[in-house]
Structure 1
Amino acid sequence: MKTSTAQNVFRILLVLFMFYAGVSHLTFNRIDFQAQVPDWIPFFSKDLVVILSGIVEITLALGLAFWKSKRIHFGWALAIFFILIFPGNISQYLESRDAFGALNSDKARLIRLFFQPVLIAWALWSSGAWQNWRAK
């Protein structure tokens, strides 16, 4: 499915955002991201969850950027990823866990929750996944 110039620009912005987030999971923001991992996640340490999610983010970013024939699939995968990590964001809000300097109040953590649907829509629209699904 052909995507517009606007979709491509926003897709590349999303790719850059996700690649940066993935690298930051593995390096300088590792401890801050652990604040988002709920205590009820079984079997894995918070650090391992952060590392694995960083690897997933980098993989999704690279796939969305460079694997044109599977771009729609990567768009759906990224949207699903955003849905899967949402409970961690809710947990961070409910447990009042600070992170990243900016998420240091219940108000800031609550406002952040409203951006998750935006990220989901961004992934689906910019990849052409939503357009492809509607065409079918």
Structure 2
Amino acid sequence: MENSINLPKKNSLISSLKWKTTVLMATLSLSFLAATNPASADENSALKNAGITATSLEGGTDSFFGSLEKIVYLVMAVGGIWAVIWIIIGGMLLSGSGSNAQKRTAGMGAIMVAAVGVYVIYKAYTIAGWAVNIGA
């Protein structure tokens, strides 16, 4: 005699929970998006109401964009030093690899990733200018 208990199948229970969770998350996401309304105010009047003038945005070394420009240059300098360090480490791994293919691959990978990093650093001012409209 077998003792058989009718339990729900594990796969159907899991898929049912996944479906309920998906529907719940979709409903919550849609209700959040419906509740938030993008600002439709004029940009110039919003800046004026906040006390921000054109001279405080564009003029002098104490301006907002002047400070942002300094931060971009600092990040570029730190990233450049970091990239040079990794190019040196990659060169050391490559030169010390001998016939070990894993070390040779690690060295080439470090040099290639550092080279991509140098390019991103080179374009950092353009990227920041695109994101915040500070660059030309």
The TM-score, its normalising length taken from structure 1, stands at 0.36
Q: Which structure would you say has the larger Rg?
A: 2
Structure of higher RCO (CA pairs closer than 8 Å, 6+ residues apart): 1
The TM-score, its normalising length taken from structure 2, stands at 0.36
